[in-house]
């Protein structure tokens, strides 16, 4: 058994990596929406916060009735209870990562979690 997993997602509109990579502490999805498209529902979460990482294009996220403009290189964290819906701009597609993690679960990070060999 190896201590890593790898996948190439080139050319996919949406892929969730929890099963593909065997993730156990987070959900990561890779997403592409054409210009004018949007997530077809408003949603919130029970316990997961989401981090949106905009890779390409432009769009907006409506969060609890407030519109937040998004463009390439933006990072956006959304609390679990916030009602949200993402849209690509009318004249621009959008490519983004969405990372879901249990809110409040981070105990160690970066150098504090590293084990030097």
Which residues constitute the domain of residue 30?
A: 26-104
Give the CATH number, domain containing residue 63.
2.60.120.10
Which tens digit of pLDDT belongs to each residue from 90-117? 999 999 999 999 998 888 877 778 887 8
Residue 109 inside a domain? The answer is: no
The answer, as to whether pTM is greater than 0.75, is yes
- What tokens does 43 get? 């949603």
Say which residues have a Cβ less than 8 Å from residue 103's Cβ, sequence separation at least 6: 47, 48, 49, 79, 80
Report if residue 91 sits inside a domain: yes
Taking only the tens place, the pLDDT of each residue in 59-75 is 999 999 999 999 999 99
Name the least confident of 23-27, 46-50, 83-87. 23-27
Please give the pLDDT value at position 79: 97
Give domain status of residue 18, yes or no: no
Mean pLDDT of the chain: 93
- Whole-number Cα distances in Å, 33 to 84, 85, 91: 16, 13, 12
The number of distinct structural domains making up the chain is 1
């Amino acid at each position: 058994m190896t201590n890593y997993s790898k996948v190439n997602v080139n050319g996919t509109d949406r892929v969730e990596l929890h099963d593909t990579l065997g993730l156990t502490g987070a959900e990561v999805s890779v997403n592409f929406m054409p210009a004018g498209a949007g997530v077809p529902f408003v949603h919130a979460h029970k316990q997961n916060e989401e981090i949106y990482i905009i890779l390409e294009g432009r769009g907006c996220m409506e969060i609890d009735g407030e519109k937040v403009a998004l463009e390439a290189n933006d990072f956006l964290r959304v609390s679990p209870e916030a009602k949200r819906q993402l849209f690509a701009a009318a004249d621009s597609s959008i490519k983004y990562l969405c990372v879901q993690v249990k809110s409040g679960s981070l105990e160690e990070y970066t150098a504090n979690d590293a084990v030097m060999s």
